[in-house]
């Protein structure tokens, strides 16, 4: 029998009594030994094969497979799925993170890390905690992308903030228990690194990384903290620092051999901003590292070399944080490719033998299957249009690169682009079907070093620092590229698609697979959907009144299976850079909402404004117009400072207000108060005190020019996540 432990300090800890060990696999019995004291709480919370009652960690279990055994809602009855309650969230900015569920409560973190506990049966708010990120963050507020997930451990809710704090709240009342600043000059020379990802917790230890590789000079690292106190236990850097200061460990000494020039002055990236997987079987942690900072390799690694451990999966000892093995997906990464997408654990039968593997679909377009014991590559197959490589040599594990991809012969257009074939939106894996369900993207980008003085390049403060050059020679090629997306069911054993269905737009929500034979996914068109996991047939769809871009969860409470997902206008890099997403008509003003469904749910959504384009404000009579010089200066400033949130060409697609429809740029004084003075800081709009009066006016007139038809948006190149 099973029960919930409601003793002090264990209010949502699930325990088992007697012989009802739900874990079938003999290999896992070791972690299912109730014994005195009920065993380790994480074993109960995050065991791989139960009834799907809880969803207490980002990937639900340590497998990070976003799969639940819950099967009350299945292919035969999903048509009866209905809204049980909806909660409209009054927190600005992003609402595409993943909720968690334990002990009757749904926990969400949205916007600038505002955390709420909500009664799962009713949608009633139990408590709410705002860490005041806008006040603390300063220039880190830009870009105001907010949080993507949180963690639970015993009686604590643990999460990161954009300003770099790792915090723990009491799950019962939302009171702050501890707060630790995780960033410092060792990883963040220019003070521009940010936390957006979900922490992971095991054995009373919290793992967290950070992002920001194309911002200032950021050196990637993963850090481990005591869940009780917030005290740091260890930190593993993913790229070597200044050799003159000595290397922290043998791994850094080895990695430094693969770099040239003065790489440490640029950071140089490799951040752990998303993928962290704990493997209890091998007592290891796998982390996925991001791109180089800046993207242009000629600046940070002028003589070439592999630039370890950029764009790599690194296995670390879970107890000590020491290096065990690594696999680098893109040697000397140069395109904002990231190995930072979720890392899923599974046991697959390959060539007739069971293999303990990890799987990753990173940005670069391949699906990697890697042996967890050795770090050896098992397979690497293209998931779609991939033009930078012929394939991957399984013997050496190295990609077979096509000529010219390092923009050594001039600008080049490559597939995938900076959004990747798969981004941070989670994929799921069903052990029942053996399929991965990937929210797949088809997008290209242009890369160039033209006109960049790579020997003397320096990052600009409070701006994007990709080090990319002039791409006008391939502008037409990029403009004619057709971007799209799909839900891709991929068989990692047969190394081919089982099915694939087109999805709207370019970036959609993460997926969840269930024991009921279903795959759930929210889409940018404002629908939340259930697909047949075996065939891809759409069996159910719900109109959410706004795009649904969060990853869903499911759980069983008092015998009833619920499905919960966050919805809200597009945010983050996808909203800023992919202007074609604007065609869906979601505006910043559209609601952010938490939706919960069950069979025969009968609730109705609140009234929602229909989608439609923003209405630009006309100029008053006699309004000033930009000179040619001002227009050029304004466009450059806008592209570097504003576009990531407000959209390329001032055409917003939901991540921030559409400035063409804003009254603020009509008045120079108001504009200065907001843009230079930070008047709207509390709403997530950072101040840019370094802009002078001339620059402000050029920026203002550029925005007004876009409002009055002076400019057009292109799908353009933005700074990917």
Catalytic pick from 42, 155, 336, 342?
336
* 465 vs 633 by CB, closer to Ca ion: 465
Q: Which is nearer to Ca ion, 327 or 424 (CB)?
A: 424
User: How far apart are alpha carbons 312 and 331 in whole angstroms?
Assistant: 9
CB of 330 to Ca ion, least distance (A): 13
Cis peptide bond N-terminal to 416, omega within 30? yes
Stretch that binds Ca ion, among 80-88, 291-299, 385-393, 528-536 (CB under 5 A): 291-299
For 517-606, list the strands marked E by DSSP. 518-522, 527-532, 538-543, 553-557, 560-567, 593-599
Site for Ca ion contains 192 (CB under 5 A): no
Gap between the Cα atoms of 213 and 187, Å rounded: 11
Segment lying near Ca ion (by CB under 5 A), choices 57-65, 289-297, 359-367, 553-561: 289-297
Residue among 164 and 721 whose Cβ is closer to Ca ion: 721
Q: With beta carbons less than 8 A apart as the criterion, state whether 344 and 64 touch.
A: yes
CB-hemisphere CA count at 13 Å for 123? 20
Beta carbons within 10 angstroms of residue 228's beta carbon: 15
- The interface with Ca ion within residues 123-152 (CB under 5 A) comprises none
Neighbours of 77 (CB within 10 A): 14
CB of 290 to Ca ion, least distance (A): 5
Tokens of 280: 């209890």
Catalytic status, residue 336:
yes
Choose one: 183-191, 284-292, 310-318, 579-587; the region binding Ca ion (CB under 5 A): 284-292
User: What single string gives the DSSP state of each residue in 602-648?
Assistant: ---PPP-PPP----PPPPPTT-----HHHHHHHHHHHHHHTHHHH-G
d(CA 526, CA 540): 14
Under rule CB under 5 A, residue 466 binds Ca ion: no
Asked if 291 is part of the footprint of Ca ion (rule: CB under 5 A), the reply reads yes
Per CB under 5 A, the segment of 11-19, 290-298, 353-361, 537-545 that binds Ca ion is: 290-298
Residue 160 C-beta: closest distance to Ca ion, Å:
17
For Ca ion (CB under 5 A), the number of binding residues is 2
CB of 214 to Ca ion, least distance (A): 5
| Shortest distance in whole angstroms from residue 177 CB to Ca ion | 32
Choose between 291 and 443: whose C-beta lies nearer to Ca ion: 291
Q: Binding of Ca ion at residue 61 (CB under 5 A)?
A: no
Q: Is 336 in the site for Ca ion (CB under 5 A)?
A: yes
What H or E segment, with its residue span, contains residue 252? helix 250-256
Q: Which is nearer to Ca ion, 57 or 291 (CB)?
A: 291
Radius of gyration of the chain (CA): 24
Nearer to Ca ion, 97 or 291 (CB): 291
For Ca ion, which stretch binds (CB under 5 A), given 1-9, 159-167, 287-295, 576-584? 287-295
Binding part of the chain for Ca ion, among 336-344, 372-380, 559-567, 668-676 by CB under 5 A, reads: 336-344
Per the listing, tokens 């990236």 go with 269
Q: Are 598 and 561 in contact (CB under 8 A)?
A: yes
Residue 472 Cβ vs Ca ion, minimum distance, rounded to whole Å: 23
- Token reading at 361: 């679909």
Q: Which region, left, alpha or beta, applies to residue 56 given φ > 0 means left and ψ of -120 to 50 means alpha?
A: alpha
Nearer to Ca ion, 63 or 196 (CB): 196
Name the segment binding Ca ion (CB under 5 A); options: 200-208, 332-340, 402-410, 594-602: 332-340
DSSP-derived secondary structure letter, 552: P
d(CA 578, CA 583): 10
Q: Compute the least distance from the CB of residue 291 to Ca ion, in Å.
A: 5
Please, what's the b/e burial string for 96-111 (b: 16 or more CB within 10 A of its CB; e: otherwise)?
A: bbbbbbbbbbbbbbbb
d(CA 601, CA 85): 8
Q: Smallest distance from the beta carbon of 719 to Ca ion, in angstroms?
A: 7
Between residues 65 and 336, which has the closer beta carbon with respect to Ca ion?
336
What is the DSSP track for 379-414? EEEE-S---SEEEE-TTT--EEEPTTTTSTTS-EEE
**Residues shown for the chain:** 721
Name which of 59 and 267 has its Cβ closer to Ca ion: 267
> DSSP secondary-structure letter at 477?
H
Q: How far is the CB of 279 from Ca ion (least distance, A)?
A: 26
Question: What is the set of active-site residues?
Answer: 336
Q: Which residues bind Ca ion (CB under 5 A)?
A: 291, 336
């Amino acid at each position: 029998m099973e029960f919930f432990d409601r003793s002090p300090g264990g209010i949502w800890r699930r325990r088992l009594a007697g012989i009802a060990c739900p874990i079938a696999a003999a290999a896992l019995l070791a972690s299912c030994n109730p014994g005195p004291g009920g065993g380790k709480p994480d074993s109960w919370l995050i065991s791989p094969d139960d009834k799907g009652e809880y969803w207490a960690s980002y990937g639900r279990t340590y497998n990070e497979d976003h799969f639940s055994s819950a099967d009350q809602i299945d292919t035969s009855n999903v048509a009866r799925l209905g809204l049980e309650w909806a909660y409209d969230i009054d927190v600005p900015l992003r609402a595409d993170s993943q909720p968690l569920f334990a002990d009757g409560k749904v926990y969400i973190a949205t916007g600038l890390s505002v955390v709420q506990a909500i009664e799962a049966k009713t949608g009633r708010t139990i408590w709410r905690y705002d860490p005041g990120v806008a006040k603390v963050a300063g220039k880190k507020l830009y870009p105001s992308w907010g949080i993507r997930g949180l963690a639970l451990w015993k009686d604590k809710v643990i999460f990161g903030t954009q300003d770099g704090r790792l915090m723990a709240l009491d799950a019962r009342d939302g009171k702050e228990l501890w707060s630790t600043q995780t960033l410092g000059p060792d990883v963040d020379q220019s003070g521009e690194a940010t936390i957006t990802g979900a922490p992971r917790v095991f054995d009373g230890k919290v793992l967290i990384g950070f992002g920001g590789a194309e911002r200032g000079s950021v050196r990637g690292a993963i850090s481990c903290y005591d869940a009780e106190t917030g005290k740091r236990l260890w930190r593993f850097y993913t790229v070597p620092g200044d050799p003159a200061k000595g290397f922290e460990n043998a791994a850094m000494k080895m990695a430094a051999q693969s770099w040239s020039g003065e790489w440490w002055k640029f950071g140089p990236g490799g951040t752990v901003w998303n993928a962290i997987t704990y493997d209890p079987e091998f007592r290891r942690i796998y982390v996925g590292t991001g791109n180089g900072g800046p993207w242009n390799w000629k600046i940070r690694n002028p003589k070439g070399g592999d630039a370890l451990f950029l764009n790599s999966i690194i296995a670390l000892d879970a107890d000590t944080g020491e290096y065990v093995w690594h696999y680098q997906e893109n040697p000397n990464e140069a395109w904002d490719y990231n190995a930072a997408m979720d890392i899923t654990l599974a046991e697959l039968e390959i060539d007739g033998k069971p293999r303990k593997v990890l799987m990753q679909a990173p940005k670069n377009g391949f699906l990697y299957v890697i042996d967890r014991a050795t770090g050896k590559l098992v397979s690497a197959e293209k998931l779609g249009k991939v033009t930078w490589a012929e394939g991957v040599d399984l013997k050496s594990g190295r990609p077979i690169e096509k000529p010219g991809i390092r923009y050594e012969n001039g600008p080049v257009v490559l597939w995938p682009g900076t959004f990747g074939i798969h981004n941070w939106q989670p994929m799921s894996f069903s052990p029942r079907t053996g399929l991965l369900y990937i929210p797949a993207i088809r997008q290209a980008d242009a890369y160039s070093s033209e006109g960049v003085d790579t020997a003397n390049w320096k990052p600009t403060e409070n701006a994007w620092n990709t080090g990319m050059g002039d791409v006008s020679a391939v502008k037409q090629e990029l403009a004619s590229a057709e971007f799209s997306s799909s839900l891709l069911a991929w068989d990692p054993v047969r190394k081919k698609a089982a099915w694939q269905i087109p999805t709207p737009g370019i970036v959609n929500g993460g997926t969840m697979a269930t024991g009921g034979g279903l795959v759930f996914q929210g889409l940018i068109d404002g629908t939340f959907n259930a697909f047949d996991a075996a065939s891809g047939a759409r069996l159910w769809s719900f109109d959410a009144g706004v795009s649904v871009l969060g990853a869903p969860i499911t759980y069983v409470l008092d015998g009833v299976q619920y499905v919960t997902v966050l919805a809200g206008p597009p945010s983050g890099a996808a909203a800023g850079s992919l202007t074609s997403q604007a065609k869906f008509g979601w505006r910043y003003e559209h609601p952010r909402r938490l939706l919960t469904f069950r069979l025969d749910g009968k609730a109705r959504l609140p009234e929602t404004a229909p989608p439609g384009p923003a209405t630009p404000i006309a100029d008053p009579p006699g309004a000033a117009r930009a000179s040619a010089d001002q227009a050029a200066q304004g466009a450059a400033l806008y592209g570097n400072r504003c576009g990531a949130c407000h959209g390329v060409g001032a055409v917003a697609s939901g991540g921030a207000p559409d400035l063409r429809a804003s009254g603020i740029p009509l008045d120079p004084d108001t504009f200065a108060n907001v843009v230079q003075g930070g008047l709207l800081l509390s709403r997530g709009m950072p101040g840019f005190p370094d802009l002078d009066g001339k620059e402000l006016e050029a920026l203002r007139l550029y925005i007004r020019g876009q409002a009055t038809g002076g400019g057009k948006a292109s799908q353009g190149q933005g700074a990917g996540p």
